[in-house]
Amino acid sequence: MTAAVHPAAQPLKPAVALAIIALLTAALSLLGAVVGWVLSATGYLEDAAWARALFEGDVASTILLASLLSLVLIGLALAVQLATMILALLVVIRGDGKLRTGAAMLLAMALFGMFFSFSVDLPASASAVTDVLAVLALAVQALRWCVTVAGAVVLCVGIREVRRARAALPSGPRM
């Protein structure tokens, strides 16, 4: 059993930043899933009119713009994942109690997508297997989202506990 970390030494600012990033990431992930479901349910993605309209002008410029936008979004996603991992490591190492538990959950979810991947190339005749794997992938994504939200909630409870403990300290210089 390790000694408890003094409330003034708890990494409160990194924990707050981690909670904000985690909650925003989870909310945007859920929003993306809902938008994708709505677009596929309405048939908008199957209608090729929007794709033809996109390529009516200069095709090279359109491809260049789409490529640059994709690179920016990939870079942003990598930066957010890196920030999550760094902040979570900092809170896990220097924090204690619920701060450490919540940060560990968020770190596990950030590392999960980095180290675990599953890909299967099946013929078109194996549609039942493909459907089962699609449902399995959706279940894993839902589990990741739930654990991310749970980790953020535990982290927020830990932040509140550290703030209360700091407020209960006698007045004086604080770190």
Tokens for 11? 């990494």
Q: How confident is the model at residue 90 (pLDDT cuts 50, 70, 90)?
A: very high
Determine the length of the chain.
Answer: 175
DSSP annotation of 78 reads H
Mapping DSSP onto H, E and C, the string for 117-171 reads CCCCCCCCCCHHHHHHHHHHHHHHHHHHHHHHHHHHHHHHHHHHHHHHHHHHCCC
**CA–CA distance, 166 with 175 (Å, rounded to integer):** 10
The tokens describing 168, both together, are: 């209960």
Q: What percent of the chain has pLDDT over 90?
A: 29
DSSP letters spanning 37-76: HHHHHHTTTT-THHHHHHTSS-HHHHHHHHHHHHHHHHHH
Over the Cα atoms of the chain, what is R_g? Answer: 22
Residue 144 has a pLDDT of: 87
Model pLDDT, residue 51: 66
At 147, which amino acid appears?
Answer: V
**What is the pTM assigned to this prediction?**
0.76
The residue that leads in pLDDT, 141 or 102, is 102
Mean pLDDT, residues 96-103 taken together: 92
pLDDT of residue 55: 67
8 Å CB contact between 155 and 99 = yes
Residue 101: CB atoms within 10 Å: 18
Six-digit token string for 133: 């794997």
